[in-house]
Amino acid sequence: MATSNSNPPLKDELDIVIPTIRSLDFLEMWRPFFEPYHLIIVQDGDPSRAIKVPNGFDYELFNRNDINKILGPKASCISFKDSACRCFGYMVSKKKYIFTIDDDCFVAKDPSGKDIDALSQHIRNLLHPSTPYFFNTLYDPFSEGADFVRGYPFSLREGVPTAVSHGLWLNIPDYDAPTQLVKPRERNNRYVDAVMTIPKGTLFPMCGMNLAFDRQLIGPAMYFGLMGDGQPIGRYDDMWAGWCVKVICDHLGLGIKTGLPYIWHSKASNPFVNLKKEYKGIFWQEEIIPFFQATSLPKECTTVQQCYVELSKHVKDKLGKIDPYFVKLADAMVTWIEAWDELNPLDSKKGNGK
C-alpha cells in the first residue's frame, strides 16, 4: 500500500522510535513515509560514537549519558547493549502513538510490486476496533472489502479499542537460534493479506522490529525488561513486553492486532551469538508461558500502571523461584513505572486503560 504523504495521518500525534548502534542510512529508503514525523533515536552502546542521521528528518537522539542524566538512579531499568533500550523512547515521547522499527528493516513490496507504507497500515489498524471476544473468520471486519460474517453476535460488533498493531516481515523470519541453525537458508516469501485480532486469553510472541501502539492506552506496560549487558538473557525483551501487555489488555478490555503491514527484514543475526543470548530463555519460557496463562489481575486494577505493578508482584513471587534474575526483573518493572510517572505525571493522574 503506497500512499502520498501530502497529508500524513497523525503527523502531530505519533513518534517513530528507533534503537541503533550505527548511522541511520536506512532512513533514506523510508523518507517518503517517515520524513513528516518526529523520530526518537535511542543510541545503544558507546555514547561517544557519532550517529549520522540523513538530512531533512526531525529527530531527537538520546545516548546512554542522556538516559543516565534524565532518569538518574532509575536508569538502571533501561537495558544496555541491547535493543531493549528502545523503550526509553516510549517513556520520553509526548505523543499518543508510537511506531518502532529496527534499523535493518527496509521497505517491502506487496505482490503487485508497490512499496508498502507500513506506517499507514499500522495507523489504520490502531484507529479501528479490535474483536478479541469472538473470532471473525474473514479476519479483521474493519478492513476494506471485509465485514462481520453470518453468525457474528451483533452485541460484539462494536469491538474494543486497539492498543497494539503487530506487523510482520518478509525475507529473514524472526526465528529463535535453534530454528535458525537448522533452517539457515529459509526466507519468508509468503505475503498474507490479512489482519486479525488475537483472541482474549491467547498469548503471542511479540516482535519489536515492526510494531505500533497507542501509548495512552498501553504505554506504561511496554517495558522491554532487563536484557543485554550484565543480564543472563537476551532477545526476550519484546516477547516479555508482549506477554505483559497481552495479560493487561485482556484485563482492561483492549485489543491487539497482528498481520499487515510487512517490512523487509534485511539481515540475519548470528545464530551462535543468538543461542548464547537465548539459552536460558529457551528453558525458562516453558515455565514463563504457563505463568502468564494462569495470571489474573484483580478488578481493583483499573489503570495500566496499577496492573503492571500488580503483575510485578506475581513475577517476583512465582518466577523468582526459577531464578534470582526474575526478582531483579520484578524490581525493575516497578522502577520503570516510577520513572514513567515522573516523566509523564499527567498520565498517572488521569489514569489510562479502558
pLDDT digit string (tens) for 50-94? 999 999 999 999 999 999 999 999 999 999 999 999 999 999 999
Task: Give the per-residue pLDDT at 1.
Answer: 43
3 state SS of 59 = strand
pLDDT at 3: 44
Q: State the pLDDT confidence band at 272, using cuts at 50, 70 and 90.
A: very high
Best CA proximity match to 283, nearest among 316, 319, 318, 311: 319
Instruction: Give, in degrees to the nearest 5, the angle at Cα 9 between 7 and 11.
Output: 85
List the grid coordinates of 329: 526483573
Does 346 have pLDDT greater than 90? no
CA distances from 144 to 161, 191, 317 (A): 18, 17, 46
As a residue count, the chain comes to 354
92-125 pLDDT, tens digit per residue, is: 999 999 999 999 999 999 999 999 999 999 999 9
pLDDT tens-digit profile of 182-208? 999 999 999 999 999 999 999 999 999
Q: What percent of the chain has pLDDT over 90?
A: 95
Q: What is the mean pLDDT of residues 309-332?
A: 98
* pTM, rounded to two decimals: 0.96
Residues 209-232 have a mean pLDDT of 97
Distance set, CA 193 to CA 58, 258, 302 (Å): 32, 11, 35
- Considering the chain, what is the average pLDDT of its residues? 96
Q: Using pLDDT thresholds of 50, 70 and 90, give the confidence band for residue 5.
A: low
pLDDT at 329: 98
pLDDT over threshold 90, residue 225 = yes
pLDDT in tens, 33-48: 999 999 999 999 999 9
| Residue 172 pLDDT > 50 | yes
Q: Which residue has the cell 508510537?
A: 98
Closest to 220 in 3D by CA, of 179, 195, 197, 248? 248
3-state secondary structure 106-117: ECCECCCCCECC
Conformation bin of residue 56: beta by default, left when phi > 0, alpha when psi is -120 to 50: left
Strands 97-101, 58-62: pairing is unpaired
